[in-house]
Chain A
Amino acid sequence: MSTTGPRDASSRAAVALAAGLHPPVALRVGNLRVGFGDASADDAVRGVSFEVRAGECLAIVGESGSGKSVTARSILGLAGAGARVSADELSLAGESVLGLSESAWRRRRGRAVGLVLQDALASLDPLRPIIREIGDSLRLHTRLDRAERSRRVLEVLDAAGLAQPELYAGRRSGELSGGQRQRALIAAALALDPPLLVADEPTTALDVTVQAQVLDLLEEVRARGTAIVLISHDLAVVGRIADRIAVMHEGRIIETGTTAEVLQNPRHAETRRMLAAVPVDRPRGSRLAPATAVREPVVAHPPARVPERLPERVPVSVASRTPAAEPVAEPVIALEAIGLSKSFRGPHGTLHRAVDEVSFRLPRGSTLGIVGESGSGKTTTARLALALTAADAGEVRLLGEAWSTLPERDRRARRSLVGAVYQDVLGSFDPRLSVREILRHAVAATAGSSSGGGSAGRRATAARVSALLDDVGLAETLLDRRPTDLSGGQRQRVGIARALASSPQILICDEPVSALDVSVQAQVLDLLDELQHELELSLLFISHDLGVIQHVSDQVAVMNDGRIVETGTAAEVFRAPAHPYTQALLAAVPRLP
């Protein structure tokens, strides 16, 4: 990477400040309001003001629906069709851009301000080579000819830290790795060296090691004097590079301050709640969400309970929280994998070993966390454990008996012992069914004919559906909603309820909280923890998020390239990682101070 000058721009800015030289203001926003409907009461952005100076990174953090993305897009005049945008001030580098015509905006986009979105796979045209995507900025704003544009694109890619740009420039986003793609996307935004860069969740879909590289790149960009507005839901990511943080909630900025102030000494309750929900370095058994939030409140909850339950947020030691598995006798092994291997045929006919000699044991009542980056074989392992995919070699045993080696016909009777919770829970529901129907189907599928038909059977099913809803803390009023009308957290609760319908002993969770906001994630994790104790569940918990894994797991297995490279108790693996891959993974995780 081509770094020049001091990396720490904040210190440079401090020097400039001490010398009485303020860096110029790159962006000033005053009382920005953005709405989409007619009623101004539910505007997405309700009077937001901030400014960013050259060489400074301002992070806007908030949960989904807080209005942070709309704010970001309004800076480029791209709030969307039908958006009502008004502001007292909106200026780029001192020049007001309020009420600009569309063509005037177009001349500024890409040159005065660049935008980086999340998920470069979708944010770069999948049909066009990146050299043309990046070259478009040059074509639109300069008079360079084709050859000069190509040369400049290669320079920009090089500056964005893409190794061997000549080799990759002709490829399309789908032919690049996640990190290469995100670098290309950043390069496209930086092609004309705009003084302001707006980055909307630039690292959200990335693996932690790649995320660390992209954050380094953004830090370099800032060190070169570019002002950055970083939009993120992830306080730990923001903590790594932001100079100042603005916390958004329901369309307003509820708190601003330097990064250290906001993260270490948050003033607003909402900020404190968000910080508490981050499961980094939170040992097993500690609560993430305020106690009352675990059972999703529908009516106002009695405030008297809050102080009463608050002490539970204090970390409790692992030993005192595992009553199900007292180490008196040899614990029952709920699920055991012995030498599992699975290969898939690659695009060029080559065999790719997705899972390679994987063995693990999941003692009853405990949680085994499998952590790894994308492509490490986690999900294939989950499918092998569910016996949905046949292994090439090795076997899975369920409660000490044969499982994966049985023919499906013999397995079906015991399928009810294993439940599954997925990341894309919405995609796993039939969108035309209501919550009631989804759960009723799940209950009926396991009850089979045993409950009998007729009204007695129907009543039994209805009672079971209510009990499931109660288990996962959902109100009965949601029964007639469709999954698309539910919030992400509610959907995942329905997904868990469905997995519990068969009264399983083992729950296999594949990235169950990855699509959720951190405070919702906290509630779902707490719910899983509670259910585990109530129902003595054994959990196989798969995630890419090290913080989540550390929080939920008794035992941890780290996967890389289809192999388990390290296993141990959560404390061992996270305090003293033995394998170099685990060490690299842990080092890449952004941490809260």
Chain B
Amino acid sequence: MKTTLAISMAAALLATTATVNAETLRWARSGDALTLDPHAQNEGPTHTIRHQMYEPLIIRDVTGAFEPALATDWAPSADDPNVWVFNLRQGVKFHDGADFTAEDVVFSFERAKQPNSDMKELIGSITEVRAVDDFTVEMVTDGPNPILPSNLTNLFIMDKGWTEANNTVNVQDFEGGEITFATTNANGTGPYVLQSREPDVKTVMVKNDNYWGIDQFPMEVTEIVYTPIQNAATRVAALLSGEVDFLQDMPVQDLDRVNNADGLVVKQAPQNRVIFFGMNQGADDIEADNIDGANPLADVRVRKAMSMAINRDAIRQVVMRGQSQPAGMIAPPFVNGWTEAMDSESTTDIEGAKALMAEAGYGDGFSIRLDCPNDRYVNDEAICQAAVGMLGQIGITVNLDAKPKAQHFPLITDGKTDFYMLGWGVPTYDSEYIFNFLVHGRESDIGTWNGTGFDNDDLDAKIKSLASNTDLEARNADIASIWRVVQDEQLYIPIHHQVLNWGMSEKVGIEVDPEDQPKIKYFTMN
């Protein structure tokens, strides 16, 4: 007996010494990545998971500045203003051992332009991507595009051979519920390799020992265990009990509790994300209301009244516990085109709202369904519930339908919701990104997240011209005039800008990234 005990103790001791260099980061947030397919679903948390395994040409570092990833440098061509030249990193290998070359870049950009791709708005101005040699790529745009690099920070590069071998050349049809090899498997060049994945349960990634930047970045985490925990209290309990080291989507009501706990900290920064409601104003009649043969949301007075009924200060004070900033426009303050004046245009005025409703012929109100996610934004469902009460005060009876984001988002992109909540972050830091996705009329390759039915040809032309407008002053004037229309039409009802809170164990060393995109290769572990 004694010898067995001694042996097992020695074994245990050995095991502890052996694990000194192995650092597991147990990471949780409210929802899971919707898919691993790099070009389906342009959604924040989905990109976050991809960023650990796949890489774009250029990424943003912890401060938000550009950092070379698969491209080492890039510049507009000296000969042709419509061409950008990218020099690629040499000696990079995909996880399966294949070499990374220009061919993969060309392939990935073509893939990202497919009809099912959710990334096509970002590269709509690119007409051709050509490989000059194995490590040089030229991108031709339909006019000079000075801000092209900022559109590429979430555009991941796949291995051409791997996709062909696994029959996953086509982007997954997410809305159609398709599952392909690439949705559950990953083969990138990134710092971590997918080990196992159970959607909505657990994803495990291990350090890529062949990563090109292994000496350049801390890379102290050797294994990542990612667990989505939808329930806020359970999520915090996991952090408090030490089951989790790093928590995104910190519930705002528990900030003090976590901050006061031994060995835990909360880090905070304003987030590049605005939360708002969208309304289907383009249809003649909508399915979600109780008015037959007419669409109350088509009347700008109704939309203005709805915006005026929302008490953003109360939402900030009570629902968000001060962790938000009331918004008057759907651009975060980081973004080119944001102005303080427009961001303070939202006012609360119940009497004025009632008068507007009466003027529009809806003095008796109407009823409508509000579609809302319950595992995506901070207190998303509670905000929607608060809106139900506030809109009730001007006679609008709102039926709230809250559901997980995996079911909510397809409603918007498929045009199956008439009143919905959405949040938008702007990875390009420019208004053009917002216009391309949310303001331009819905077409096959642009305006795909515009669920409002708003379609204005003059405005669309102006939005399209932004990509190739090199005169920054004129471009900014155009942006301002587009915003004016968005504001006057009350295209959306802005609610607030989120404040970002990351809860973590003190041993985790990382600063908050305004895009809410932690890249684990920057993490240190003490």
A and B together in one complex: no
